[in-house]
């Protein structure tokens, strides 16, 4: 199972290199396409990364002009992360290649097998003990 995960992840990472993105960067940009007004803490939770990793990820993407921090309407000290026009253009250009690759990688499975796999992985994830991240 772990070997298959690493193989699949490696193929995805290789495909994103032509867009000059890491998998973590792509995940964040793709998430921001569909979600608005999330702060770094909320994004870290959704992407299952530490808050520290999220800060570094946002900083790198911000320096490249793909995301920006915008003051939140709900909290004085909080910022939300938004895609810039450049970031939106990049992630929408990368999405078709990514979708095609994922579909190709999953093609050995039929629809029923994909549904079973999804359910099994959900049950496995739900049964994992909560691991606290270090401050």
pLDDT in tens, 33-70: 988 788 888 899 989 898 889 999 999 999 999 999 99
Nearest to 74 by CA among 44, 40, 38, 110: 38
pTM of the model: 0.84
**For residue 44, what are the CA distances in angstroms to 13, 31, 66, 91?**
20, 11, 17, 19
Distance CA 48, CA 46 (A): 6
- State how far Cα 88 lies from the chain centre: 14
pLDDT band at residue 111, thresholds of 50, 70 and 90? very high
pLDDT band at residue 123, thresholds of 50, 70 and 90? very high
pLDDT band at residue 107, thresholds of 50, 70 and 90? very high
The answer to whether residue 133 scores a pLDDT higher than 70 is: no
Count CB neighbours of 37 within 10 A.
Answer: 13
CB 26, CB 98: distance < 8 Å: yes
pLDDT band at residue 76, thresholds of 50, 70 and 90? low
């Amino acid at each position: 199972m772990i070997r298959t995960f690493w193989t699949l992840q490696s193929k995805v990472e290789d495909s994103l290199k032509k867009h000059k993105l890491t998998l973590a960067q792509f995940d964040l940009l793709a998430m921001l396409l569909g979600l608005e007004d999330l702060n770094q803490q909320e994004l870290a939770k959704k992407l299952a990364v530490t808050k520290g990793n999220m800060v570094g990820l946002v900083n790198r993407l911000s320096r490249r002009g793909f995301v920006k921090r915008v003051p939140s309407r709900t909290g004085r000290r909080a910022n939300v992360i938004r895609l810039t026009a450049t970031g939106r253009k990049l992630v929408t250009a990368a999405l078709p290649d990514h979708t095609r690759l994922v579909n190709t990688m999953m093609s050995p499975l039929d629809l029923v097998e994909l549904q079973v796999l999804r359910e099994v992985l959900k049950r496995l994830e739900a049964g994992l003990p909560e691991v606290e991240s270090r401050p």
